[in-house]
Every structure is written in C-alpha cells, then in structure tokens.
C-alpha cells in the first residue's frame, strides 16, 4: 500500500479517540466497572441516531480517565495511530468541563495531555496544538469559571472551541468567554452548522469572531453564507465519517463535500471522534475518495488545505506543504 498523503488533523476530540481496549484497561487500573461486559459489547453500542445519542456514550466512557497518566496514555495512543494515517500535525480538542465536573482538576488534564504532546515531535514525528473546548449545553458562567481555572495553563493552549449539543445552544451564549480568550491572545473556533442551522455559523463568525468553523456542512443551505465563507476563505473542518454515523447525511455518496469544494470553500477533511465513528484521518480520506469519486489532485488540495487552515507558523507550514506537493499516490 502506498504511504498515506501527509496531512494535518484539525478536528479531533482526544476523548473521542478512546478505544474500547484502552477504556477497559483504564477502568481496571482505576478500580471502575464499565456497564459493558466486553469490548465487543461496548462496540455494539456504537450505533447512533443523532449527536445526542453519541454524546451520552462519549461522556459515560470518558469517566475512566482519572489521572495525569491516563490522559498521557490516551494522547500517546492517538498519536501512534495518527502517524500511521499520515498525520504530520494535529490540533487537538479536549473538553475540560467533562472532567472537572467529575472532580478531575483541569491541571491534571492539561499536564497529562501536554506530556504526550511534548514528546510527539521526536517520538511520532508529529507537531501539535491544544484547543480547549467549552460545552455549549452547560452555562456561560461554567465556561467563564473553567477559563479562569485554566488561566495558569494558557501557554499550553492555542485556541478555544465550542462543542457538545448544538441545537438550542447557539454560539452567542458564549460571547464573553470568546472575548476573554481573544484578549489572552488565543485563536477561536466553534462547532456550528453540524446539526444546527446556518444561523449558528453566522453567529460563530459575527458574534464569536471565529478563525475556523468546525463542521459547517449545513452552511450549504444558505447561499449568502456560502458566499461569505468563500470570500473570506474561512476554513471548515468537515468530518465525513462522523456526519455519516451521526446521520447528518444518510449516505456518504450524498455528502456535500464536492459541492463545498465547487463553491470555492476552504474545506478540510478530519476524523472528529475516530474511535466511535469508524475511522482516523486517512480512513476519512479513503472513504470520501471511494464514495464521492474524488481524484488525486482533489485529495492533494484537501491535504494542502489542512496545513493552510492550521495554526502553524509559516516556516513549518511551508515545510509540510512541500511534503504534500512531493507526495506520490
């Protein structure tokens, strides 16, 4: 098999990389019992109706993450798989409130993740950034308190994000914490237009001032929004296998990715929660190539976009872009 094309992963929830094998090992190490008899039993629960049915399992399973070592092990396991899939740079989301709500301090989470990420250039040949996400189905006050708890660790954080249940929790609810983050010199991203309407994408752009939109696929329902996203070349971190598993699309062949590319949008392809959605970065590239008939130059353009849309410094970005251009399929 040819080597996978070099790429950046820009939409990846580290808690969504928790594979059943590691979940059971961490449960045992922490003296916890999972409500599943076996790894196969757990995998059988990976059949989702929508975003919420996935989130219920996602939050339940991540309770096995307790110690700094657990977070380091989780990130190291992801980086090992990512490298096999051609990932050269990963901008990694984590959900601090999902851990602090269980009594795990934010410092434990960040120190554990940072330990694995610091070793990644040498150990895995991958550069990384960390993106701290707020849970939009929690209050704006909770996001503000979490931001203040994380303040001593902000040198480890590149950006803030917004995730969890989109419908009923529009971006504007979080205006204040996004203002604080920008004042602190952080970049801003937000999930919008996954299950929620195009109005959420407008709000993410105009109220939160995001640098990228995560998902954004429902933007295609609003021609004015498409024109805006194209004119400003706002990056969209699209996650095809996630969209399939969470029933944002019925079949991969119906995915709007080709229409998004035709509209001149700055689209990237990512894996979201690969343990749950059936594929890591290259698996998503392969799935769209097969289902949508994308040719090699389109795949190369998607790989180029992933570095263009990243928060990398210019020198490193150029180095990676040369690797993409030199790739032989």
Pick out the residues of the known binding site for Zn(2+).
11, 13, 191, 272
**3-state secondary structure at position 47:** coil
Least gap, CB of 3 to ligand HPA (angstroms): 28
73 lies in the site for Zn ion, by CB under 5 A: no
**Which residues inside 136-165 make contact with ligand HPA, applying CB under 6 A?**
163-164
DSSP sequence for 27-38: HHHTT---SSSS
Separation between Cα atoms, residue 191 and residue 171, nearest integer Å? 9
243 binds, among Zn ion, ligand HPA, none (CB under 5 to 8 A by kind): none
Nearest to 48 by CA among 241, 262, 308: 241
State the binding partner of 194 from Zn ion, ligand HPA, none, CB within 5 to 8 A by kind.
ligand HPA
Cα–Cα distance measured from residue 192 to residue 216, given in angstroms and rounded to the nearest whole number: 5
- Considering CB distances under 5 to 8 angstroms, the limit depending on partner class, which of Zn ion, ligand HPA, none binds residue 164? ligand HPA
Nearer to ligand HPA, 237 or 310 (CB): 237
DSSP state letter for 2: P
CB burial of 242-275 (b: ≥16 within 10 Å; e: otherwise) equals bbbbbebbeebeebbbeebbebebbbbbbbbbbb
Q: Any alpha helices (H) in 184-313, and if so which ranges?
A: 198-206, 223-232, 240-245, 257-262, 274-277, 281-292, 296-308
With binding defined as CB under 5 A, does residue 282 bind Zn ion?
no
13 counts as binding ligand HPA under rule CB under 6 A: yes
Site pattern 260..279 for Zn ion (x: CB under 5 A) = ------------x-------
Residues identified as active-site: 194
Among 4, 9, 10, 16, binds ligand HPA (CB under 6 A): 16
- Interface positions, 294-323, toward ligand HPA (CB under 6 A): none
Binding site listing: 11, 13, 191, 272-273
Are residues 113 and 71 in contact, defined by beta-carbon separation less than 8 angstroms? yes
* Shortest distance, position 167 Cβ to ligand HPA, whole Å: 11
Binding site for Zn ion (CB under 5 A): 272
Binding site for ligand HPA (CB under 6 A): 13, 16, 51, 58, 163-164, 191, 194, 242, 272-273
């Amino acid at each position: 098999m040819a080597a996978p094309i070099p790429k950046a992963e820009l939409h990846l929830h580290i808690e969504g990389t928790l594979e059943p094998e590691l979940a059971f090992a961490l449960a045992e190490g922490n003296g916890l019992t999972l409500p599943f008899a076996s790894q196969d039993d757990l995998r059988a629960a990976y059949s989702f109706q929508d975003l919420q049915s996935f989130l219920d399992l996602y939050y339940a399973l991540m309770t096995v993450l307790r110690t700094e070592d657990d977070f380091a092990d989780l990130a190291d396991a992801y980086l090992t798989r990512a490298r096999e899939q051609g990932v050269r740079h990963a901008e990694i989301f984590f959900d601090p409130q999902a851990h602090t709500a269980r009594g795990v301090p934010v410092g434990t989470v960040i120190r554990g993740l940072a330990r694995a990420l610091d070793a990644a250039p040498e150990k895995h040949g991958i550069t990384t950034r960390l993106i701290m996400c707020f849970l939009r189905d929690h209050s704006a006050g909770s996001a503000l308190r979490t931001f203040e708890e994380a303040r001593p660790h902000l040198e480890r954080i590149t950006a803030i994000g917004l995730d969890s249940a989109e419908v009923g929790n529009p971006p504007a609810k979080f205006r204040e914490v996004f203002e604080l983050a920008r004042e602190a010199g952080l970049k801003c991203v937000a999930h919008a237009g996954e299950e929620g309407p195009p109005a959420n994408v407008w709000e993410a752009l105009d109220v939160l001032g995001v640098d990228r939109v995560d998902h954004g696929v429902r933007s295609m329902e609003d021609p004015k929004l498409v024109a805006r996203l194209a004119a400003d070349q706002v990056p969209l971190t699209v996650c095809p296998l996630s969209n399939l598993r969470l029933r944002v699309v019925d079949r991969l062949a119906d995915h709007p990715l080709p229409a998004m590319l035709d509209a001149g949008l700055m689209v990237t392809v990512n894996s979201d929660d690969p343990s749950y959605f059936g594929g890591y970065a290259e698996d998503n590239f392969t799935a769209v190539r097969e289902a949508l008939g994308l040719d090699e130059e389109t795949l190369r353009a998607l790989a180029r976009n992933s570095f263009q849309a990243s928060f990398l410094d210019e020198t490193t970005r150029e180095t990676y872009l040369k690797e993409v251009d030199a790739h032989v399929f």
